[in-house]
Amino acid sequence: MKMITGIRFFLLSALLVLCGACAESSGSVKREGTIKVVTTTAMIGDLVKNVAGEKAEVVSLMGTGVDPHLYKASAGDVEKLAGADMIFYNGLHLEGKITDVLAQMKKSGIFTVGVAEGIDKSLLLSPEEYEGYYDPHIWFDVTLWKKAAKVVMEAFSLYDPQNAGIYKQNAESYLKELSLLQSYIQKKIALLHHERRVLITAHDAFNYFGRGYGFEVMGLQGISTDSEASVADIQNLSRVVAERKIPAVFVETSISPRYMRALRASVKARGFDVRIGGSLYSDSMGSPGTEEGSYIGMFRSNVDTIVESLSRSIEIADSKAEAAGDG
């Protein structure tokens, strides 16, 4: 096994050198025709498509259900990256296991943009448990995603200045759509009682959502899924859920549900039955071609699931209370 791993590392390294040489020869000068863009996550890909429009051909490396924290670049990925005119990635260590590959691409001369890294750091979260790192999950606050759109627009305008007006127009149009999304989120959440705005998920992907929309957020795992949830983590969180009688917890589409099932079992052992409220899109979107396969559709789906599930939990609790009163 060690020999196979070593061979794979050698082959990837060799391919990086060869692809880097090719990219270096072309440099970061815009080539004629459609701009070839490679993005890491589908969220970044969707953002780039909305800003670039028909001026770019966009390919995202990470598909539906893929966890960017654990994603490792294949030889095919390296080849795609090396053949790109522009590369967009989230940054802030979201794609931790391909950081070296992205750095090599930038060093070779490919126009490479860390979208989240272009946002004012004073707007980012850096909780103490993150040990000096910023939370990379910026897409869960629409106000930050608007700033990400501007980062992408500025990057395209710099790379392809003769079409800067088109990128600005596309970005402005998309910003209007994001404003409508923000209004939808706020109206939907307003239907939920303040004391029920507690969101418990598999890992800390929703801190920006919590700050932006008034939710208390708790996750079993930390900022990255690269670490395992311990028995102590499960016990500590189950104690909170049972004591506060939090009615529902949520699984994530890009993470195994086993930790949340273990959490539910631990809560039940304490005498309280917490529900699995549904699946949320966290580090990836839905399948291409579906409503959830876009950023706006993904966010609306999450909000609908959260509000409807927690509201349903309230209705169930009220029904039980009425039944007890009748008895």
More confident residue, 23 or 282: 282
Residue 58 has pLDDT above 90, yes or no: yes
pLDDT at 22: 42
Confidence of residue 30 (pLDDT cuts 50, 70, 90): low
pLDDT at 228: 66
Helices (H) and strands (E) in the chain, counts: 10, 8
Quick: pLDDT tens for 140-171. Answer: 999 999 999 999 999 999 999 999 999 999 99
pLDDT at 326: 47
Superfamily of domain 27-186: Nitrogenase molybdenum iron protein domain (3.40.50.1980)
Domain ranges of the chain: 27-186, 192-326
The torsion angles phi and psi of 302, rounded to 5 degrees, stand at -60, -45
Residue 184 has pLDDT above 90, yes or no: yes
Distance CA 108, CA 103 (A): 9
pLDDT at 230: 79
> Average pLDDT, stretch 239-265?
91
> Average pLDDT, stretch 233-251?
92
Confidence of residue 194 (pLDDT cuts 50, 70, 90): very high
Superfamily of domain 192-326: Nitrogenase molybdenum iron protein domain (3.40.50.1980)
More confident residue, 132 or 55: 55
Query: Quick check: 309 and 279 in contact, CB under 8 A?
Result: no
> Average pLDDT, stretch 271-299?
95
Confidence of residue 285 (pLDDT cuts 50, 70, 90): very high
Burial class from Cβ neighbours inside 10 Å (0-12, 13-18, 19+) for residue 205 reads buried
Same fold yes or no, 27-186 and 192-326: yes
Average pLDDT, the chain: 87
pLDDT at 129: 72
Residues of the chain with pLDDT > 90, as a percent, come to 72
Distance CA 188, CA 300 (A): 9
The torsion angles phi and psi of 238, rounded to 5 degrees, stand at -65, -35
Confidence of residue 214 (pLDDT cuts 50, 70, 90): very high
For every residue of 206-254, DSSP letters joined together read -HHHHHHHT-EEEEEE-S-TTSPPPHHHHHHHHHHHHHHT--EEEEETT
pLDDT at 322: 46
Q: At what angle do helices 164-189 and 295-326 cross, to 10 degrees?
A: 0
Residue 119 has pLDDT above 70, yes or no: yes
Quick: pLDDT tens for 2-25. Answer: 433 443 444 444 444 444 444 443
Confidence of residue 77 (pLDDT cuts 50, 70, 90): very high
